Structure 1
């Protein structure tokens, strides 16, 4: 595992973009609950589009310009999860079903963090997101965009979308749990 050697390793463009996404997530939460903001949906869509663009760019820049860092591998997913968690908090006030997805999100992400630390500690490698995690993220954002774009959607339709997102989250949780279990078992068999 590469150790950070200088400020140059910390203050990379991709890392700064990840920190910017964290700030955007907090701004989004403020916009959602602020009575001063009149066009909430438009503001949130713009924030999410900028967040998505910077997420895409930080990975591209990191790989193309050899700026991949251990710090970046940590703060990029933190920025993703902060954005997702705060989006869930925003919509919990509108949709009761979102509370269940939020609890699932907390359980899944707590497990992922603990298991990920354990796996990296044992294997000294971070494999990153798997396809099922990426599909879960895509479905999550599609549902969130629909809820933002259509604030007057019937609650029954919103609940169906939320349940679909929750099912993909649960699937990703189960698949990651199996993967981490398999990696740990292989690691122990080598010892």
Structure 2
């Protein structure tokens, strides 16, 4: 596994993929705002919250693809993309626990996964090893999470439908996919450390 050296240019700040990551970070604020308003004020605000999540999920799907297609893969992007993912996931998780307290155990699984990946990333930074690009299983886990949340919010906002069994099933599937991604990322992390040690 070859790891390129860190590099940064001012132009990296305004690449299309990185702008999409900025947008994903910004969308956290209106999502939380409208979700809370839907919870305590008018359920119709859930629709706006769901739109925010859909847009966020789409930017997450396309930023990596555009980075490769436009040859705009940057070291900054490799930090911004997972950072935007984690902040969005945490915000959504907190909102969902407020909405359905029984989901707390499943949300803890998501927190453990993201916290573990954060620690791994920090270890690589300390060792001055470039962070690897996101892998397909990480993207799949994120997309499944977005789909689950969007379905729950949409059914509640549009049809006033709330089925605890459906919610539990969706988040069990999400947790399983997240654990799969965590195991694969952990293996990749250990492989990178092993390779780096062999080069020393």
Q: Which region of structure 1 is more displaced relative to structure 2, 54-63 or 12-21?
A: 54-63
Q: Which residue of 1 aligns with 2:14?
A: 11
Tell me if 1:184 matches 2:188.
Answer: no
Give unpaired runs (5+ residues) of structure 2: none
DSSP 3-state at the match of 1:150:
helix
Number of aligned residues: 190
DSSP 3-state at the match of 1:125:
coil
* TM superposition score normalised by structure 1: 0.84
Q: Which region of structure 1 is more displaced relative to structure 2, 54-63 or 148-157?
A: 54-63
Equivalent-residue separation in structure 2 for 1:171 and 1:144 (angstroms): 19
Q: CA deviation at 1:75?
A: 0.9
CA contact (8 A) 2:6 2:130 kept: no
Query: How large is the RMSD of aligned CA atoms in angstroms?
Result: 2.4
CA contact (8 A) 2:30 2:49 kept: no
Give unpaired runs (5+ residues) of structure 1: none
CA, structure 1 residues 156+49, in 2 after alignment: closer, same or farther (shift >3 Å)? closer
Equivalent-residue separation in structure 2 for 1:54 and 1:130 (angstroms): 16
> 135, 138, 151: which one pairs with 2:140?
135
* TM superposition score normalised by structure 2: 0.81
Tell me if 1:24 matches 2:24.
Answer: no
Q: Which residue of 2 aligns with 1:64?
A: 69
Q: CA deviation at 1:112?
A: 0.7
CA contact (8 A) 1:21 1:54 kept: yes
What whole-Å deviation, never above 9, does each CA across 1:132-180 have from its counterpart, x for those lacking one? 3233223222211221122223212211222221122222222322332
CA, structure 1 residues 51+88, in 2 after alignment: closer, same or farther (shift >3 Å)? same
> 155, 161, 171: which one pairs with 2:170?
161
DSSP 3-state at the match of 2:99:
coil
Q: Which region of structure 1 is more displaced relative to structure 2, 178-187 or 40-49?
A: 178-187
Equivalent-residue separation in structure 1 for 2:43 and 2:199 (angstroms): 60
DSSP 3-state at the match of 1:17:
helix
